[in-house]
Amino acid sequence: MPYTAPQLLGLTQQQLDDLFTASPAGDIPNGEGNGSAIIAPGSAFTAEIASLINIFAWQGKNFDAVHGTLTNRILAFGLNAIVAEVYKSTSWFDNKECIVLDYSRTSLLARHVRDEIREIGPGLYLGLVYWDQNRTIHFSLQFPQA
């Protein structure tokens, strides 16, 4: 059964990890994806934290699949900033193919960040965030269906 982005906020860390591992990389997305940070998975506060982050810090990512880049939509007014290179490679989490969002050569601010995403349903991606090689949080990206 496919998940929705709000349903992901109710999953535990282990369920999110299992879903990421069981999912294919999928196609590199194109266009505007609405994001949700998944912090403290499985707790009563996950949805509230995601909502606050959406309002004040991060709303999602805008992908340009042709050029293999993205920008993040940040701050309350949706500023497009913090560029990453986008390509397929091996996941640091499970050594399977994933889509890598690599900030190491494109952003001074986020040069220690690497995201990995996989498509878990039509237009819905589950992601992992790394700081250096340390896994930090999950996130989701929802793209409009064609």
Query: What confidence tens digit (pLDDT) does each residue in 41-90 have?
Result: 988 888 888 888 887 788 999 999 999 999 999 887 677 889 999 999 99
Amino acid at 47: A
What percentage of residues in the chain have a pLDDT greater than 70?
A: 98
* Rounded Cα–Cα distance for residues 114 and 109 (Å): 12
Domain assignment of residue 66, given as a range? 5-142
Higher-pLDDT residue of 81, 140 = 140
The confidence score (pLDDT) of residue 1 equals: 62
* Rounded Cα–Cα distance for residues 125 and 69 (Å): 16
List, as own/partner pairs, every contact residues 105-110 make where C-beta atoms lie below 8 angstroms and the sequence separation is at least 24, other chains included: 106/69, 107/82, 107/83, 109/82, 110/82, 110/84
Higher-pLDDT residue of 57, 34 = 34
Q: What are the two backbone dihedrals, phi and then psi, of residue 47, each rounded to the nearest 5 degrees?
A: -65, -40
Q: What are the two backbone dihedrals, phi and then psi, of residue 22, each rounded to the nearest 5 degrees?
A: -80, -5
| Number of domain units in the chain | 1
**Residue 57 CB neighbours (<10 A):** 12
